[in-house]
Structure 1
């Protein structure tokens, strides 16, 4: 940063992350931790919420489903919103929405009110998850993508480690409302840091491009209905049931309509899908679908295995999952370093191979499998998953111009969300069918083993696709934004 307060461009050929970029990244991480912790804490709180709010499990599941739908439906419009408001204003607005949603959730008086307030949280969270990657990658200018990605994935890595443990402690010692009040310090501190540290950018409100309303009405409901259909896939009729089949069909029709509309509209579409002509983005998107299925699907199975088969409490299951999170944390920096040296392709191939090898042992689990051995395997699996996500999320941005980054960020995030929903739907259905006729511990363990084999298959399918990722270790930096309408970044 120079004496006038304008961020200096990175030194050509430098392998060090610019201090101003580190400060921007750390500022965004503080706010993003609220979203990640909220999501991971909620993953073990559903059963307790059902009891304390006197609601059925089917009703209380909407606390998670409504949040997920709002999160996913919001993501496609983030690029347009950034072009209208600028990154700093949009980030602070999104953080404010998440803060308001958290306060309202803590004040909820019944299940329907809690579900409604979770939608507000989901809108804020969806904007933040896309915008974080966009702002950091634009500031990086295409340099040191691996190292930068290892920084901005800190919340994603910390969440599975700390979130479930915090949730277990809160539910054990206090009232469920503290699950949402826990977000408040991150929102307040994150908001202050954003106001102080984020650069001013973008046009003034009202001067940006017009919203692609037709695209919005096709794409966001299409994504939401597909994900909703997948969440209902675990019913007794599977895809054939109206609760799953009808939303999936409607979602596919809407998404097909959007593809036709976007191809005709081109760069003016809500989300320019022509960017998928970039091999790096297209291959990363496909792999993020599989990675989402392997990550989120297996993350659902593992605590359930320890709770239903081994009789562990929610807190006990969360503590047993810590090694996987620790492995994810430890592999990030190394994966980012080698991605910048040798490219995303070899890093991803090795990472998915390690993840596959460490998922296979769970296919053999029984009601008496040694927990120490499983925790050691989880640590190795975490190493693979952490490295894989760095390579995929970083590889998606290789070779893109600055103005293409918002759409690429939305595409990659949506792919990860849909992949997670697909994986969860398939694995839950397999588990239900395998355990429908009996509830003995041995039969339950066998059912979990079958589901884990599918999780391993998702991971194995990703290995050959990794060969399509960029192999260049030092890609050409992205074009810098030199348009006269864009003011210089000021801190």
Structure 2
């Protein structure tokens, strides 16, 4: 038996089985990840409530989501360095504390400005939880079991976008909007106690000096770029001062950061990781996948509510087969990745997702729900074989000292690409709807039934047909991007990982 740095029994890197210790660590990490990811999606259904409650516009209310996302993007680059410097346990507990405090404050918000400010505080904690969780899990499991433990961590990543609207709709309908934040308190306190008890004591290595210049370039650069991109749907065009200036300044800062990072021995975001072939192709795969998947993720809930007149709760339930499919295939995919490498698994997953998503390019105003749910199930099967196996491909061949930086890099890629995808699909859909004169009137009639009586005969029916056509045409863009993901995925490793350095350098193997 081997010992981890705190003298407690640790996993044997040569073993293929997950032991009780790894499952306990996974439980702590998954609790944090569930809160962080659910809170991104649970607020989506609350935006109309915030509009009414705080007497504000949809565009301003939406900043309760955007502010959280920007805080995530700003803090993620710091996580890798901070994990090396202070240790993962201390940082994880601090991130949970920030998140719980932010949740409590959000529930006390008295106007939209205070809510946005508290969401930023919540996002600072939430932004650290996912990359830290991935680092903790990778260190706990060892190289031979990364695929399976990443599959465990992938459940909240994939189910968040599906269960968030269901939970949010139920809490708002049954209680009040305050409870979408208060629900985090008991979960957060349990996660905090378990983190104290279960996670190994920190033995941080003497850390290299902090890349202060890198922080001044990367964090504001990423935040400004995402601010510009996030403003596109509200402005309705890329050629807007509010979009262009922040985005261009952000891109400039990011380019300067890249030039700086390539000349620095210990940069804030370690771009030298791209020397690893598996990491490079995993990043390219994740960029295209996240643009397509997260971008398309906003389309179906909107279609179900705007075209079919469903409630937010009903829309969330109708999308559930996607999550069920992912839950079925994800554990299987995790086990196979550890045995045969991620390449074949990811290719299979993307192919299934493309087939499932292609169905939605044929959406009509009266498409049968059972057929739609079968297509979602197929997409779910593909999702379970794609996201976390791609993450595994990125970090499987990294050394112990590189893991924190690698997970940070992948989370930045995931967050940024998802925001870009959401903006692209929003703009495409908005422009297509604007070109269809009856679509707006038909959608408006869902919230104001008296409007239907004031319109010429056939306008509502024609409008819903036009709106469905706009949604199906937007799905074409998502399907094309998803199909392009097959190109970098083709170059992912197709053999069981062999990295003696990683095996020798895991916390479990450091003491005999």
Name the TM-score, length of structure 2 as normaliser: 0.91
The answer to whether the 8 A contact 2:230-2:423 is kept is yes
What's the counterpart of residue 468 of structure 1?
491
For residues 66-215 of structure 1, what are the structure 2 equivalents within 5 Å?
66-203=67-204, 208-215=207-214
Secondary structure at the aligned position of 2:370 is classed as: helix
1:457 counterpart (476, 480, 494) = 480
Cα distance between partner residues in 1 of 2:329 and 2:420? 26
For residues 308-327 of structure 1, what are the structure 2 equivalents within 5 Å?
308-327=306-325
Name the TM-score, length of structure 1 as normaliser: 0.95
Shift of 1:157: 3.1
Shift of 1:12: 5.2
Change (3 A) 1:209 1:452: same
Secondary structure at the aligned position of 2:140 is classed as: helix
Shift of 1:479: 4.8
What's the counterpart of residue 356 of structure 1?
354
The answer to whether the 8 A contact 1:105-1:117 is kept is yes
Identify which range, 432-441 or 65-74, moves more after superposition: 432-441
Cα distance between partner residues in 2 of 1:315 and 1:298? 19
The answer to whether the 8 A contact 2:397-2:497 is kept is no
Q: After superposition, give the CA deviation of every residue in 1:194-226 in whole Å (9 maximum; x if it has no partner).
A: 00000012339xx64332110001001111111
Is it true that 1:302 corresponds to 2:300 in the alignment?
A: yes
Secondary structure at the aligned position of 1:270 is classed as: coil
Tell me, which stretches of 5 or more residues in structure 1 are unaligned?
A: none
Cα distance between partner residues in 1 of 2:289 and 2:125? 24
Cα distance between partner residues in 2 of 1:359 and 1:217? 40
The answer to whether the 8 A contact 2:87-2:204 is kept is yes
The answer to whether the 8 A contact 1:33-1:186 is kept is no
Cα distance between partner residues in 1 of 2:211 and 2:431? 43
Cα distance between partner residues in 2 of 1:359 and 1:452? 8
Shift of 1:366: 0.6
Secondary structure at the aligned position of 2:490 is classed as: helix
Cα distance between partner residues in 1 of 2:367 and 2:189? 44
Is it true that 1:251 corresponds to 2:274 in the alignment?
A: no
Change (3 A) 1:92 1:370: same
What's the counterpart of residue 423 of structure 1?
421
Q: After superposition, give the CA deviation of every residue in 1:263-318 in whole Å (9 maximum; x if it has no partner).
A: 1112x211110111111111111111111112211110110000111111111111
Shift of 1:233: 1.9
Cα distance between partner residues in 2 of 1:111 and 1:451? 31
The answer to whether the 8 A contact 1:82-1:202 is kept is no
Cα distance between partner residues in 1 of 2:260 and 2:44? 37
Identify which range, 112-121 or 141-150, moves more after superposition: 141-150
Identify which range, 228-237 or 39-48, moves more after superposition: 228-237
The answer to whether the 8 A contact 1:231-1:421 is kept is yes
CA RMSD of aligned residues (A): 2.0
Change (3 A) 1:143 1:41: same
Instruction: Give the length in aligned residue pairs.
Output: 484
